């Protein structure tokens, strides 16, 4: 920029510091990227275990690290279907595969293609097809319609009584998620070739980066051109993997520039446009790409942040005035086409001009994330930001990311376990051996995951289930429990603060080894301090999908994701039916909680876990301690842990972290029975049924009490 105002330097430093404070800093960016890369790997492994040939990717702001809590960004997931071979030429035909040939018609926009269905046994077009999503065009060609994935998702949502949201190629059951299915085009389309060959200053992208992104390929997403007569058979080129690679190569200062553009877009520009068109994050990202390519490296420094933002805004303003916003990678595409009318572009131009002419003064009025206040209140003398300084916002984000990741990963495991309901104990163990082998193969294929404890944690969770299943089989059949099963328990303890240790303690209680059980339980109680966050994957914790709903425990600073996962989270304790004899008898009633029509009153998540026993870690800790101290004759400690268990239900702060309150109430009721207070227990069971009349094992406990049946 020529002759920027003198105050730009100071305001740049203030703005940069404010952005660092709300999570746009090198440390938090790395943390976000690592979290979402691990989650996409977990989803891919789940599909591979279930025999599905797909690869999951997380794109967009969350995986790039270019968001703040105030932006409330959604989570973009793309699943690439690998069983389809996309051919850009006949030489790429593969025998035995589902082959599709990319066709470009004169009527197709530069970013769109048709897919012709090709035979799997011969490199020839399919002539006749009864497939419901195959369409014969006027030239007699069998084309693949782009409506299959959307129709299947909508059908599934209707069958399961989910919400359904659709936008372009995205179909999902939640506004917080954009889910897209896509096909991989290994060869870059012709429209992308010019980007690699066009002249540029040379400092960015570097030749090495260009070589890397050339191997990424492109996706074909099921999204026809809005103005096409045959949009139901058109597929759009999406270089998302190239764009993510470029974003991962950006400097932190460049990411800050992009975040400010998005803040202006969300809180200033679009509100002034009302419903007359909408500037998107992709328009802002396009401006950043061109700015990163054109501006010299020396411009991207902290004290010149305001200049860089203004440069990007001027790019957007220039495109607005010409009505042409070029795609950074795909030639011939106008990103304004279909988004704005000429009148709307004129209005957008005035808004952008006003922001530029007033030297970004509007930023001081941004209330989201307290950005304006942070800018104006920052001490100039201490404006330099230390990457090791984790203030409260970064700390909360860190905990949200870790708990969110653990929560989502547990949901992935739960989804996998749904397939194991009818397996025998031996078949279940073989299934988990295959799961671990699949995971190891994936990690070997992608070496960047080798150093992470994330997958080690997955293995430990699986080993815990295997140990409990084998021990349950021995107890059920009156066999001696081999030493190697106990070793299996011990090798799986560090999944989190409590759950695997509680399963070990429960086994010891059921095996009447009370002294050893007491030692394990005392260890869990010592670890379970006020900073531990309860995590439930049963669908009762889905408010964590947004960063505005952070875990309540935010004290303490942890520099390592894996340490936080294992030392600061407590998973619900889950028993499959194959593990039943490692659980106290009271929990076995939870596996048959459905009475009469109850099963028909379960949502999709509940169908996955309500045939198991699931209990929150903290009340289960106190219940096992009650059984243990009762068996050891330690009445004083027995009374103490009963009061602790009762507080889980009565104390508002504790109960807000209990995700299975009906099970907690049933444990309290059974303790009352053992204390010799059957009438009080019956009252509690009845109150539990009044609060949750469906799918509540308290029905069985009421029946027991009425008929005098003890457990």
pLDDT for residue 604 is more than 80: no
Q: Give the three-state DSSP class for 242.
A: helix
pLDDT for residue 645 is more than 60: yes
* CA-wise closest residue to 587 among 479, 675, 711: 711
The confidence score (pLDDT) of residue 382 equals 44
Q: What is the pLDDT of residues 38-73, one digit of tens each?
A: 888 888 888 888 888 899 999 999 999 999 988 988
* CA-wise closest residue to 6 among 260, 299, 306: 306
The confidence score (pLDDT) of residue 385 equals 40
The confidence score (pLDDT) of residue 553 equals 41
The confidence score (pLDDT) of residue 556 equals 44
The confidence score (pLDDT) of residue 555 equals 43
545 or 282: which carries more pLDDT confidence?
282
Burial label, 22 (beta-carbon count in 10 A; 0-12, 13-18, 19+): buried
pLDDT, average across residues 252-277: 93
Question: What φ, ψ does residue 405 adopt, rounded to 5°?
Answer: -65, -45
Q: What is the pLDDT of residues 122-155, one digit of tens each?
A: 999 999 888 889 999 989 999 999 999 888 888 8
Confidence of residue 656 (pLDDT cuts 50, 70, 90): confident
Output the average pLDDT for the chain. Answer: 87
Q: Which one-letter DSSP state was computed for residue 125?
A: B
The confidence score (pLDDT) of residue 561 equals 52
In 392-481, alpha helices (H): 392-417, 425-445, 454-476
Q: How far apart are CA 242 and CA 192, in angstroms?
A: 11
Residue with tokens 């440390």: 27
DSSP notation for 319-331: HHHHT--B-SSST
Confidence of residue 540 (pLDDT cuts 50, 70, 90): confident
The confidence score (pLDDT) of residue 446 equals 67
Q: What is the pLDDT of residues 279-322, one digit of tens each?
A: 999 999 999 999 999 999 999 999 999 999 999 999 999 999 99
The confidence score (pLDDT) of residue 112 equals 95
Q: Give the three-state DSSP class for 190.
A: helix
Between vectors from CA 230 to CA 320 and to CA 106, what angle results, nearest 5°?
70
Burial label, 392 (beta-carbon count in 10 A; 0-12, 13-18, 19+): exposed
Q: What is the pLDDT of residues 311-354, one digit of tens each?
A: 999 999 999 999 999 999 999 999 999 899 999 999 999 999 99
The confidence score (pLDDT) of residue 563 equals 56
Joined tokens for residue 321: 């005035």
For the chain, give the percent of residues with pLDDT over 70.
91
Give the contacts of 393 (CB within 8 A, at least 6 positions apart): 21, 22, 23, 69, 369
pLDDT for residue 386 is more than 50: no
For the chain, give the percent of residues with pLDDT over 90.
57
Joined tokens for residue 430: 């073989």
427 or 238: which carries more pLDDT confidence?
238
Between vectors from CA 71 to CA 70 and to CA 74, what angle results, nearest 5°?
125
pLDDT for residue 565 is more than 70: no
pLDDT for residue 383 is more than 50: no
How many other CB atoms are found less than 10 A from the CB of residue 340? 21
The reported pTM is 0.83
pLDDT for residue 380 is more than 70: no
Joined tokens for residue 692: 């949750």
The confidence score (pLDDT) of residue 551 equals 43
Joined tokens for residue 328: 């950074």
Do residues 28 and 394 lie in contact, with contact meaning Cβ atoms separated by under 8 Å? Answer: yes
451 or 461: which carries more pLDDT confidence?
461
Q: Which CATH class is domain 1-24+250-388?
A: mainly alpha
Q: What is the pLDDT of residues 588-603, one digit of tens each?
A: 999 999 888 888 888 7
Q: What is the pLDDT of residues 490-515, one digit of tens each?
A: 888 888 899 999 999 999 999 999 99
198 or 101: which carries more pLDDT confidence?
101
pLDDT for residue 391 is more than 80: no
The confidence score (pLDDT) of residue 454 equals 66
The confidence score (pLDDT) of residue 85 equals 96
Confidence of residue 562 (pLDDT cuts 50, 70, 90): low
The confidence score (pLDDT) of residue 1 equals 55
Joined tokens for residue 270: 């679009």
Do residues 236 and 169 lie in contact, with contact meaning Cβ atoms separated by under 8 Å? Answer: yes
């Amino acid at each position: 920029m020529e002759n920027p105002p003198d105050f730009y330097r100071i305001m740049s430093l203030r703005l940069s510091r404010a952005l660092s404070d709300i999570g746009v800093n090198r440390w938090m960016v790395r943390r976000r990227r690592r979290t979402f890369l691990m989650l996409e790997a977990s989803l891919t492994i789940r599909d591979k275990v279930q025999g599905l040939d797909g690869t999951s990717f997380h794109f967009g702001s969350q995986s790039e690290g270019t968001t703040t809590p105030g932006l409330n960004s959604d989570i973009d997931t793309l699943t690439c279907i690998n069983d389809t071979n996309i051919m850009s030429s006949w030489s790429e035909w593969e025998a035995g595969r589902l082959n599709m040939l990319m066709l470009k018609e004169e009527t197709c926009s530069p970013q769109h293609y048709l897919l012709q269905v090709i035979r799997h046994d011969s490199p020839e077009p399919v002539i006749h097809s009864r497939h419901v999503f195959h369409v014969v065009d006027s030239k007699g060609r069998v084309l693949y319609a782009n409506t299959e994935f959307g129709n299947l998702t909508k059908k599934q949502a209707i069958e399961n009584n989910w919400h359904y949201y659709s936008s372009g190629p995205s179909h999902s059951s939640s506004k917080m998620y954009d889910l897209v299915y896509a096909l991989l085009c290994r060869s870059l389309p012709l429209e992308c070739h010019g980007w690699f060959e066009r002249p540029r200053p040379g400092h960015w992208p570097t030749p090495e980066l260009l070589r890397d992104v050339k191997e990424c390929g492109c996706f074909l997403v099921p999204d026809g051109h809005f103005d096409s007569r045959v949009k139901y058979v058109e597929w759009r080129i999406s270089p998302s993997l190239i764009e993510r690679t470029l974003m991962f190569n950006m400097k932190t200062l460049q990411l800050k520039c992009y975040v400010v553009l998005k803040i202006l877009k969300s809180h200033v520009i679009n509100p002034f446009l009302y419903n007359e068109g909408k500037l998107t994050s992709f328009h802002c990202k396009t401006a950043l790409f061109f700015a990163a390519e054109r501006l010299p490296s020396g411009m991207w420094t902290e004290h010149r942040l305001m200049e860089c933002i203004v440069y990007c805004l001027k790019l957007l303003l220039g495109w607005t005035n010409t009505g042409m916003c070029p795609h950074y990678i795909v030639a011939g595409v106008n990103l304004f086409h279909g988004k704005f009318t000429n009148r709307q572009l004129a209005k957008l131009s005035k808004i952008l001009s006003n922001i530029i002419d007033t030297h970004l003064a509007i930023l001081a009025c941004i209330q989201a994330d307290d950005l304006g206040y942070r800018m104006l209140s920052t001490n100039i003398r201490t404006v330099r930001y230390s990457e090791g300084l984790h203030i409260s916002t970064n700390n909360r984000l860190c905990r949200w990311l870790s708990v969110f990741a653990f929560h989502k990963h547990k949901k992935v495991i739960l989804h996998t376990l749904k397939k194991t309901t009818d397996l025998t104990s031996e078949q279940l163990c073989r299934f988990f051996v295959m799961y671990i082998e699949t995971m190891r193969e994936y990690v070997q294929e992608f070496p960047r995951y080798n150093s992470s404890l994330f997958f080690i944690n997955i293995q430990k969770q699986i080993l815990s289930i295997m140990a409990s299943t084998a021990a349950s089989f021995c107890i059920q059949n009156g066999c001696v429990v081999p030493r190697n099963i106990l070793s299996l328990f011990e090798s799986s303890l560090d999944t989190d603060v409590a759950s695997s240790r509680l399963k070990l303690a429960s086994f010891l209680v059921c095996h009447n080894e009370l002294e050893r059980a007491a030692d394990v339980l005392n260890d869990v109680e010592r670890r379970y301090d006020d900073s531990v966050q309860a995590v439930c994957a049963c669908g009762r914790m889905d408010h964590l999908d947004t960063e505005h709903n952070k875990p309540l425990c935010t004290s303490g600073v942890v520099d390592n994701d894996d340490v936080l996962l294992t030392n600061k989270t407590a998973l619900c304790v889950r028993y499959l039916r194959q593990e039943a004899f490692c659980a106290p008898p009271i929990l076995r009633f939870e596996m048959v909680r459905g009475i009469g029509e109850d099963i028909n009153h379960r949502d999709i998540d509940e169908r996955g876990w309500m045939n198991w026993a699931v209990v929150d870690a903290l009340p289960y800790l106190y219940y096992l301690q009650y059984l243990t101290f009762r068996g050891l004759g330690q009445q004083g400690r027995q009374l103490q842990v009963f009061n602790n268990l009762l507080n889980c239900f009565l104390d508002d702060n504790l109960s807000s972290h209990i995700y299975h309150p009906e099970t907690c109430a049933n444990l309290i009721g059974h303790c009352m029975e053992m204390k010799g207070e059957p009438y009080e227990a019956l009252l509690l069971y009845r109150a539990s049924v009044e609060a949750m009349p469906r799918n509540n094992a308290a029905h069985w406990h009421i029946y027991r009490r009425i008929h005098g049946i003890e457990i």
